[in-house]
Structure 1
Amino acid sequence: MKWNWQRAGWPNFSYDATVLAPLESQFLLRSGEFIGAYRHISPDERDQLRIELISDEALKTSAIEGEMLNRDSLQSSLRKQFGIAGDTHHVPPRERGIAEMMVSLYRDFGAPLTHEALFAWHKMVMADARRIETIGAYRTHADPMQVVSGSFGNQKIHYEAPPSSQIPAQMEDFLIWFAASSPGGKQPLPALTRAGIAHIYFESIHPFEDGNGRIGRAISEKVLAQSLGQPSLILLSYTIERGRKLYYDMLESSSRDIHITEWLLYFGQMILEAQENTVNRINFYIAKAHFFDRFGSRLNERQRKAILRMFREGLDGFKGGLSAENYISITKASRATATRDLQGLTEMGAFSRTGERRYTRYHLVLE
């Protein structure tokens, strides 16, 4: 089987630009919606929202690779790096490293992409790595770089990347293409097209021993920010993680050819969905602020604790609503106290109620 980098014409990907044009137009329209929604938030609230959006991305880009991070540690690291007063929480290397990469992506989105920038990102992503030889540089091992699954002796090869000896030249070509295709480059490309090509191009080279997925998605987010002229704060990894299997299937099928219209359609639609999720996240944040403006002074500590826990679930919320058992678990209240608290929340209009008896569930009432 031939991989894309083994085909004549690599890395000159081909695609049908006319099919992508409607998606590109929709991206620009939704970008305006995001900017409009974001401006409805006060500067102080923007700081917290920025932390929440970036931490969501950091958590999900790691989760796609099967790595579960601690949200509190991650947000603590982000607050410190943005100079926002916070706690003195000890931050483990994994959370600190991915937070550093996300802040670098946010602050330096307009800077050229260089070997040195990629090496710095790799050091951040691999801050707690103990099982790889080369950190902060491209791979040099002689063994084939393969993406495999299955148990030993029954493994399936999903992809084999170029040998390590080719990586310096391949990455030099990638960075030249990246600069040329930028908004101010010699051959600028539309945002979604460039983001999709950048991702499949980088992932096909697979230049590092590990961390390629996280860095590849960061590169796509850098593309989107450059197209907008400001940090995008787009929930791309958050959206990809929801359909992780399809993401990996599309990467695998698209790694066999240099004609990538189908890949670009998939990735472009994923970005549009991520934009919608981002705007919904902003509106959710605004609704949260309005909720506490209306009810904050009337909540006791148990009620506040339970509601904050519900808001922490974000857009997905408590599946099926909050039960009395959930409330007791969160607040450590007795059943009688929980019943009074929940009844009070319903009477003041903070909660709506569905179901009866043990099937009773409570839902936040948001504007």
Structure 2
Amino acid sequence: MLWNWKRRNWPNFSFSSDHLKSYEREFLRKAGELSGSLKHISEDEHESLKVDLMSNEAYKTSEIEGEILDRASLQSSIKRHFGLRSDHRKIPPAEHGIAEMMVDLYRTYDKPLTHDQLFKWHSMITIGRRDLLAIGKYRTHEDPMQIVSGRVDLPQVHFEAPPSSQVPKEMQAFVNWYNQTKSIEPLTKAGIAHLYFESIHPFEDGNGRIGRAISEKVLSQSLGRPTLIAISSLIEQDKKAYYSKLQKNSSDLEITDWLEYFCELVLKAQEYTQRMIDFLIEKSKYYRMYDHELNERQKKVIDRVFRAGVNGFKGGLSADNYMSVSGTSASTATRDLQKLVDLGALVRKGERKGTRYYLTIDHPVGNAHGLIP
């Protein structure tokens, strides 16, 4: 197989700018909407949004690589990095490392990309690892760096990166390209940066997580602020398509197909963030309308439903859920739920054991009541 880095014109990727113009315009339009929406939430809500998005991205970017982390530890670690109040739990190394990288990306988005920053990110996400030869530096092993699947005795090679001896030269060219390229539109540059970096695959492990962080850095620099969009969350929903597109574009330098996929991914990520902001706005409206009408049990349950996020309780809030969260009896739960329905704070759907309750918020997710049943 003639991989892209073996091509005579490497790393001069080619693509159709005309195919990407509408994506670039939409990206800037959505970015403006997001910025405007943020003005309608409080400082505390903004901090909450930041922590939720960053911890979810840390979780998802790790999950893409098959590493399942503890969400609560990620949130706690990110809060501590920002000086916010958190619990006192002990944070495992993996959760601490990826959280630290996400916070560093947030704080240094406007700085030039450097080898030292990449080394620092790699050290963060591999903290505590004992199985790697090179931590905080580019790979040095003599074995081919390959992406494989299938049986050990009959592996299928999906991609082979440049040999380790070539990596320093390739990465110097990449860093120069990143910092010196000003004429390419943001979505296009972010998509190229991700594919370019993954094609070099400079580290023993962690290339996917760092490559996705580089894409977010490009987009943040183009907007002059951290993007706070859920790129990894969208990728994780269809990892098969993500890896398929990467593989398909690993043997040629014409990458319009990859860039169209990447642009659509980022636009969907922006929509996800917009829904989260809208949800926070509706949450504030909801509490202003109903908070003074609720007893302590009802407040506790409503708070728990809101903490479930834009998608709410899976399957909706049931009477059993209410009893479990509030610690009350079946008869009291029935009265409390009926009062919430009478107030207009919840809407009831279904009958008997299939009865479920949903927040009455105006939110463009799932249905008119905001939480997906």
Classify the TM-score, shorter chain: over 0.9
**Structure 1 SS opposite 2:158:** strand
Counterpart in 2 of 1:185?
none
CA 1:155 to 1:331, structure 2 compared with 1: closer, same or farther past 3 Å? farther
Q: Distance in 1 between matches of 2:251 and 2:333?
A: 58
Query: How far is the alpha carbon of 1:338 from its aligned partner?
Result: 3.0
Structure 1 position 41 matched with structure 2 position 41: yes
Q: SS of 2:136's equivalent?
A: coil
How far apart in 2 are the matches of 1:227 and 1:355? 48
Task: Please report how far the alpha carbon of residue 287 of structure 1 lies from its aligned counterpart in structure 2 after TM superposition.
Answer: 1.5
> 1:246 maps to what in 2?
241
**For 1:155, what is the secondary structure of its paired residue?**
strand
Task: Tell me what 1:73 maps to.
Answer: 73
Matched residue, 1:325: 320
Structure 2, unpaired ranges of 5+: 363-373
Q: How does 1:160-199 map to 2 (within 5 A)?
A: 160-182=160-182, 188-199=183-194
Counterpart residue number, 2:148: 148
Shift of 1:331: 4.1
Deviations 1:338-363 (A, max 9, x none): 32332232222221111111221111
CA displacement at 1:163 relative to structure 2: 1.2
Structure 1 residues 306 and 150, CA, compared in 2 at 3 Å: closer, same or farther?
Answer: farther
For the aligned residue pairs, the C-alpha RMSD in angstroms reads: 1.7
Q: Contact conserved, 2:41 with 2:280, CA < 8 A, in 1? A: no
Task: Report the AA paired with residue 101 of structure 2.
Answer: M
Query: Following the alignment from structure 1 to structure 2, what is the Cα–Cα distance between the partners of residues 139 and 297?
Result: 60
SS in 1 for 2:193: helix
User: How far off is 1:330 after superposition?
Assistant: 3.9
Pair 1:237 & 2:206 matched:
no
Q: How many pairs align?
A: 362
Partner of 2:344: 349
Q: What is the rounded CA distance, in whole Å, between the counterparts of 1:300 and 1:128 in structure 2?
A: 47
* Conservation of the 8 A alpha-carbon contact between 2:78 and 2:99: yes
Q: Does 1:338 align with 2:343?
A: no
Are the structure 2 counterparts of residues 290 and 151 from structure 1 closer, same or farther at C-alpha, using a change threshold of 3 Å? farther
Alignment-mate amino acid for residue 127 of structure 2: A
User: Which residue number in structure 2 is paired with residue 116 of structure 1?
Assistant: 116
CA distance, structure 2, for counterparts of residue 345 and residue 151 of structure 1? 57
Aligned residues with identical type, % of pairs = 54
Please state how far the C-alpha of 1:294 moved relative to its aligned partner. 2.5
- d(CA) in 1 for partners of 2:104 and 2:335? 48
1:30 alignment counterpart? 30
**2:133 corresponding residue in structure 1:** 133
Distance in 2, matches of 1:154 and 1:249, equals 20
- Kindly provide the amino acid, as one letter, of the partner of residue 96 in structure 2: R
Partner Cα separation in structure 2 for residue 41 and residue 320 of structure 1: 28
Q: Give the SS at the match of 2:157.
A: strand
Deviates more, 1:250-259 or 1:86-95: 86-95
Match of 2:370 in 1: none
Worse overlay, 223-232 or 57-66: 57-66
| Corresponding residue of 1:17 | 17
Q: Which runs of 5+ in 1 are unaligned?
A: 183-187
1:247-298 alpha-carbon deviations (Å, 9 max, x no partner)? 1111111112110000000001111111111111111112122222323344
1: CA distance between counterparts of 2:137 and 2:152? 29
* Aligned equivalents of 2:113, 2:246: Cα separation in 1: 23
C-alpha distance in structure 2 between counterparts of 1:77 and 1:200, whole Å: 30
Q: 1:301 to 1:140 in 2, by over 3 A?
A: farther
1:315 aligns with 2:305: no
Counterpart residue number, 2:365: none
Name the CA shift for 1:323/1:191 in 2 (closer, same or farther; >3 Å).
Answer: same
